[in-house]
A = this chain, B = another copy of it.
Amino acid sequence: MPQLRQDLVTGRWVAIATERAKRPSSFTRAAPVATTAAAQCPFCPGHESMTPPEVMAYRPNGSASNTTGWEVRVVPNLYPAFGPAHGEVQVEPDGPYLKMDGVGIHEVLITSPAHATDISGLSNHEAELVVQAWIDRMRVHQDNPTLRYLLLINNHGKEAGASPEHPHSQLFGIPVLPPVYEEEAAGVRRYRDERRRCVYCDIVAEETSARARVIFENERFLAFAPYASRTPFEAQILPKWHSSRFESLTSAERGAFAEALQALTGRLETGLNDPPYNFFIHTSPPHLSGDVDYHWHLELLPKLAIAAGFELGSGVMINVTTPESAAEFLRGIEPRSVNRSELAPAIH
């Protein structure tokens, strides 16, 4: 008999279809995807003129803007989905409908000069710099009254929408509250009204005690497969202490968060031979800095299943892998760097 499980935050039900069950290893990609030559990659060092001028870069040796020598480099997206963000945004009628200018920001954060090295393959110090860059850019935009939400995302692999392939994250600032965040925030409020506790803090307590869905943990962070996982190998990283804002991480916390993210993505990339995935960070909106009820976190969704008519039409996801078996599989993986460049050496 298939099983339905309810997400404790959103109240949404997920179908764990054990009748259609697949073993975790059946999702392993036959071979890692070779990278293409980097000669024309706009994100590689030496090609800085191929992007819009940088808005930030970490240059430990003080090299000039838009030249080589950077560790992390941030540029505006050449084809922005939102932007620019200036002045008042007007909601206007269009027949019976409403529209507004798609004001906002859309930045690309190039996470390493190395064309074939994603966050999992960086040193922990380098990965912490990436986290630092995410936070620095969010802080730059946090006082812009046009922006109702700042969303940091990372697409990994072509099937997950990563184009170009040189590893990079993206920061979006948008003029509306995103419904996915709103649904979570409503769940947080409902749970607190009913039980006087934070739902995410309760999840941390349950998962660190039950162990079956834990993938990795250190003193400060827990990486686990959610009870009502929507897709095979869905994962979250939660801070173990209550904190509403990702941007408030201290230096030591940033290092621990980077370690958890590297452990999670490294196990996934090693265990399943570099599958496509997306991750994003849900944090409190900048204009709600006084709202300390929310609990920020990272969500990671591998692209290993097709959302077809049933999922699109109902919003109920069918997951053919239990989170317990996914977590057990990932716990047993010894992460090694998936060196994509060995397959097709990048030419610089």
Question: A residues within 8 Å of B by Cβ?
Answer: 1-6, 8, 12-13, 15-17, 19-20, 79-83, 94-103, 149, 151, 153-155, 159-162, 170, 172, 174-176, 178-181, 183, 202-203, 206, 210, 227-228, 278-282, 299, 301, 306-310, 312-316, 318
Q: How far is the CB of A224 from chain B (nearest CB, A)?
A: 13
Q: How far is the CA of A172 from the CA of B311 in the complex (A)?
A: 11
Q: Give the residues in chain B near A8, CB-CB below 8 Å.
A: 96-97
B81 pairs with A175, CB closer than 8 A: no
Write the chain B residue with the least CB distance to A279: B309
Q: How far is the CA of A171 from the CA of B306 in the complex (A)?
A: 18
Q: Which residue of B lies closest to A91 (CB)?
A: B6
A153 touches B15 (CB 8 A): no
Given B19, B172, B280, which contacts A312 in the complex, CB threshold below 8 Å? Answer: B280
Evaluate contact between A314 and B99: CB separation under 8 angstroms.
Answer: no
Which single residue of chain B is at the shortest CB-CB distance from A175? B4
Kindly report how many copies of this chain are found in the complex they form together.
Answer: 2
Contacts of A202 in B (CB 8 A): 96
Assess the A309–B154 pair: CB atoms within 8 A: yes
| Interface pair A151/B102, CB less than 8 Å apart | no
CB pair A179–B149 under 8 Å, yes or no, is no
Of the candidates A12, A81, A153, A227, the one having the most CB atoms from chain B within 10 angstroms of its own CB is A81
Contacts of A5 in B (CB 8 A): 94, 97-99
Pick the contact of A179: B12, B228, B310 (CB < 8 A): B12
**Most central of A97, A103, A301 by chain B CB within 10 Å:** A97
Knowing A94-B5, A160-B306, say if A313 contacts B102 (CB, 8 Å).
no
CB of A98 within 8 A of CB of B6, answer: yes
| Complex CA distance for A281 and B312, rounded to whole angstroms | 11
**13 new A-B pairs (CB below 8 Å) besides A5-B98, A81-B310, A170-B309?**
A1-B101, A4-B99, A4-B101, A4-B176, A6-B99, A15-B82, A81-B318, A95-B206, A161-B307, A178-B315, A179-B315, A280-B313, A307-B307
